[in-house]
A and B are shown apart, each in its own frame.
Chain A
Amino acid sequence: MTDLKKQELEELAFRVRQHIVKMSTDGGCFVGASLSAADLVVYLYSEFLNISKDNLQDPDRDYLFLSKGHDVPALYGTFVELGLMEESRLKNHLSTSDNIYWHPNTKVPGIEFHSGSLGHLPSVAIGVALDIKMKGGSNKVICILGDGELNEGTCWEAALVANAHKLDNLIFVVDRNQFQANMPTEELIPLEPLHDKFSAFGAAVKRIDGHSFEALEEAFTAYPFQEGRLNVVIADTVRGKGLPSIEARADRWFCNFTQTEVEALLEELKGEKLATIESETLVVR
């Protein structure tokens, strides 16, 4: 990856993070989980996937399914930056006049399927990947999963079935930010050794730094990882990435900041002084 490309992607991810932070007030959003996935989502849409505003109905396009739907601010931020969505719609967050809420839905062009209930989209992605195989297509199908989401048995059921049907056109990307809703994953339901778990299910697995565009490029340019096997990318990430005052904290998953806090966090995002956060954590789960 050239330095110029890397800089371009970093600037894009920075703007996406600004959108996420701006959505974390007046009702709030799952800011921690969105910030951890932001680099992944930016990389996949701008570099890897054949998805643009002009081909959203084309059966030969690639597909991205966001199974950990609560990080949808990262997706919407990316959609705005890539011209799939009007920026003005982000201001409608949680307004009943639009359909921009805490989980993705197909009223937003570019969203392939609604999500929110964890462990669903791996199987929906299997259906799409199966049809592409039946038709001899070469489109790629991505499903982004949360690490906490891997508590759901249907994720593992889907891994078994994807391998049984040799779906090497399907890629599970795990946003491994080390936290589930209120707890570090390893304290509640330990997932490690995660690489070995997916390997044992028959997948071809890569584990990378999910905030490094070079690492993302190295992993995804190796697609398909192995003929006839489900691809899995475990992307090690940091919950709240970009905002040191909330990074890697169990209590900063869903946040509803005051307007003043948002302004301070936008400064913090630029590398200015850390914001002082007094808003209480909302526990919604």
Chain B
Amino acid sequence: MTYEELLTKIALEDERFVVMTAENRALVRNIPQVLGNRFVDTGITEQTMIGAAAGLALRGRIPVTHALASFLSMRAFEFVRTDAGIPNLPVKLSSFIPGFLSDGNGPTHQAVEDVSLMRGIPNMTVFAPADEEDLVTMLPQIWNSPNPAYVRINTRKTDYKHSANFEIGKAEVVSKGSDVTILVYGMLFEQALIAVGILKNQGLSVGLVNMRSLKPVDEQAILEVAATSKLVVTLEDHFLTGGLYSIVAETLLKNRTTANVLPFALNERWFKPGRLNELMEYEGFTGKQIAEKILGYTTNAVQPEIVLPEFAE
């Protein structure tokens, strides 16, 4: 099932759903004809769309809003925070081409701080599915929850068969490992699978966790990995600040513990725009590069040594 098929089905079954877009129709091409006046295109007005979504939610609707990730999370940030966050209204944000998925657009379109911004809003929930199957598995619960929700839309396909049991606040533990465990969210799941394969071939015991729900986060899963794996890798197409690396750090500190953590993230810079596969290679985020970096990292350090990936430029 595709994103659009799922949304169409749910909206047809439940009159409360209103599909909105700030003229980003890539995900909802066929919905206008099907939903009639429950499809609302506000034009290129992310702020007005979110305010109007709050008004619709006041009247009992569940608005599912669509815009490019950077504009939904940043242009409309104050509207999301003030009009959906403060009153805790079920405004659902479908955030298109987040992170590396903005490929050739350049830094204006790079949402690589969206997780940080959105999880900073009280009442907001934040999700990042690994691929399209994961996305459609997660969405029904996310859309039916009483809270505002930000979803990093990811309609890419992978070969992995996900667990159909999704729960808000629960990660999907793909495998457990005592040497290295990769914590990942979103489209980099695919690269993490490749990296895990390479590391296993090297004889390492490797774990992989698809985070799925970043807020609320599965603290138990993080703590278990920290306790049982010699090296914890955080992997994300997001700034180092405020994303998964920060979430892990906060979780460990809150529980008075620590771990040997190697982050893969963008450190105080935007990424090089280009074709997706090329830019990931340029930035050092392909499965092979990730595996090589992990293999070259000393896991027996007494104190965690924070080594950031080195970037060109």
Contacts and interface: CB of A to CB of B under 8 A. Distances in A.
Given A117-B78, A117-B82, A124 B43 contact: no
Contacts of A242: none
Contacts of A124: 51-52, 54-55, 58, 83
Task: Give chain B's interface secondary structure class.
Answer: helix
B58 A126 contact: no
A126 B78 contact: no
Given A113-B87, A132-B59, A160-B45, 13 more contacts: A59-B59, A113-B54, A126-B48, A126-B51, A127-B55, A127-B56, A128-B56, A128-B58, A131-B61, A134-B38, A154-B48, A161-B42, A161-B43
Contacts of B55: 113, 123-131
B53 interface: yes
A65 to B, nearest CB: 9
Nearest to A155: B48
13 contacts: A113-B83, A114-B86, A114-B87, A122-B51, A123-B48, A123-B49, A123-B51, A126-B51, A127-B51, A127-B57, A130-B40, A130-B52, A161-B43
Interface residues of B, number: 29
A106 interface: yes
B59 A131 contact: yes
Contacts of A160: 43, 45
Closest 4 CB pairs of A and B: A127-B55, A123-B51, A127-B52, A131-B59
B37 interface: yes
B54 A157 contact: no
A72 interface: no
Nearest to A128: B55
Nearest to A105: B86
Interface in A21-60: 59
Interface in A116-142: 117, 120-134
Best-buried of B48, B50, B63, B87 by chain A (most CB within 10 Å): B48
Given A120-B51, A120-B83, A154-B51, A127 B59 contact: yes
B52 A157 contact: no
Nearest to A141: B55
B47 interface: yes
A130 B56 contact: yes
B79 interface: yes
B167 to A, nearest CB: 30
A178 B54 CA distance: 30
A95 to B, nearest CB: 21
A226 B40 CA distance: 22
